[in-house]
Structure 1
Amino acid sequence: MPETAETKVVAKAAHRFGVPVWRTAKPDAVLAAAVEVAKQEILSIAKPDQLGSHLAVRSEGERVATHLFECTKDGYRGWQWFAVVTRAPRTKIVTVSEVGLLPTDDSVLAPEWLPWSERVRPEDEAAAAEKPQPADSAVQAAEAEPVLPEGSAPEFDDVEPVEDHAEFDEAQQETDAPKTEGSAN
């Protein structure tokens, strides 16, 4: 049957945007019902206003499922919170094994990292070489360290000499003295 505009609309309506379509088995009924358990564990790493509605549950295998929730955290448009839940055979106690954030196809992601040697292009190097170098300026002079002639010392007009070091020496000896058993130090 050829695809028409009507069949495209119906197909899009059946698939919720941002929720991936998986080709795995139906999730375990106990795990699929554990939405509140998954939500509480996500709230251990997220603020309540950052957790949106439950989007889907996905079977990962026998007695393992992943719950997906909308992420409403600023700067994470298109991301989804997830909680992986599991249970032991013949028990209905659900355990959360992992929580976190997952990007979707609509997520804002950082660009792929490139080594510096690949980021600098020949035209970038040419533009840097053409840039005029500033002549000696007041800024460069202020940044340069002063050079003193050999045998001379810097002058400190506003520094007053300290005459009595006794208090400092006593305090230093107390902190440097080894501590012995029964001493209050």
Structure 2
Amino acid sequence: MSDKDSLKTADQAASQAEASAAEPTLGKPGKRRRTAKVDVTLAEAQDVARAGILEITTEAAIGSVHHLRGEEERLTTHLFECTLPGYRGWFWFATLSRAPRSKQATICEVGLIPGDDALLAPEWVPWSERLKHVTEEDLEQLDDTEELAEELKEIRAARSAEKANEPRENADESENSTKQSEDSTEQTEVSAE
């Protein structure tokens, strides 16, 4: 092998190393896990799964849609539609299992999980990325809102000052009524003597 060939090979190896360094790897891909079959005994235990879910929610929150998902051998998840407002696409789940050669289903876990078309919060974006697209117009609008905020502070201060004066007036009225009642009490004592 000539020097030129060894330089080309070294350059290619360096460029491949740089490319692979930019993308994180998770190791060599392994065998894909086969989908487990749904256990017949656990599939028939829909009433057990529903009873488990009813411990954390009401009957009205469980819809009519029902799915089964085989997790592992003797481990099955029942999925029921969630009808709560704001939870479109979410499912109540109850994971059931059974011991070998047993015909009795046991509840492992219950909860609420999002489906494929569920409404989810958008991904978090760092503030530095969000602020990249701020224009001068946006900054001017912020200045306008700061002026409005100052005006609102002044209005609130004026209102709180008015409210602070109201109790004083009420206190003055109560002091006057107290003095009048004391005067009438003194007059009654003098007339009784």
Asked whether the two chains share a fold, i.e. TM above 0.5, the reply is yes
Q: What TM-score range do you get, normalising by the shorter chain?
A: 0.5 to 0.7
* Structure 1 residue 77: Cα displacement: 1.1
Q: Quick check: which has more Rg, 1 or 2?
A: 2
RMSD: 3.2
In structure 2, the CA distance between the partners of 1:64 and 1:121, relative to structure 1 (3 Å rule), is same
Per the normalisation by structure 2, the TM-score is 0.54
- Separation of aligned partners in 2, 1:78 and 1:141: 46
Task: Tell me the equivalent position of 1:120.
Answer: 131
Task: Tell me the equivalent position of 1:110.
Answer: 121
Contact 1:80 1:101 in 2 (8 A): yes
Task: Tell me the equivalent position of 1:97.
Answer: 108
User: Please, which of 28, 44, 61 is the counterpart of residue 33 of structure 1?
Assistant: 44
Deviation string 1:117-145 (CA, Å, 9 cap, x unpaired) is: 22223425x2343244639x66556789x
Contact 2:81 2:91 in 1 (8 A): yes
Give 3-state SS (helix, strand or coil) of 1:101's partner. Answer: strand
Contact 2:37 2:73 in 1 (8 A): no
* Structure 1 residue 85: Cα displacement: 0.4
Task: Tell me the equivalent position of 2:29.
Answer: none
- Separation of aligned partners in 1, 2:151 and 2:86: 43
- Separation of aligned partners in 1, 2:151 and 2:89: 51
Deviation string 1:148-183 (CA, Å, 9 cap, x unpaired) is: xxxxxxxxx999xxxxxxxxxxxxxxxxxxxxxxxx
Per the normalisation by structure 1, the TM-score is 0.56
In structure 2, the CA distance between the partners of 1:142 and 1:67, relative to structure 1 (3 Å rule), is closer
Structure 2 counterparts to residues 146-157 of structure 1, below 5 A: none
* Structure 1 residue 105: Cα displacement: 2.2
- Separation of aligned partners in 2, 1:117 and 1:68: 40
Task: Tell me the equivalent position of 1:165.
Answer: none
- Separation of aligned partners in 2, 1:67 and 1:139: 54
Contact 1:54 1:67 in 2 (8 A): no
**Aligned pairs, number:** 129
Percent of residue pairs bearing the same amino acid type: 48
Structure having the larger proportion of residues in helix: 2
Q: Which amino acid aligns with 1:60?
A: E
- Separation of aligned partners in 1, 2:114 and 2:40: 26
Q: Which amino acid aligns with 2:103?
A: K
Q: Which runs of 4+ in 1 moved over 4 A?
A: 137-144
In structure 2, the CA distance between the partners of 1:40 and 1:127, relative to structure 1 (3 Å rule), is same
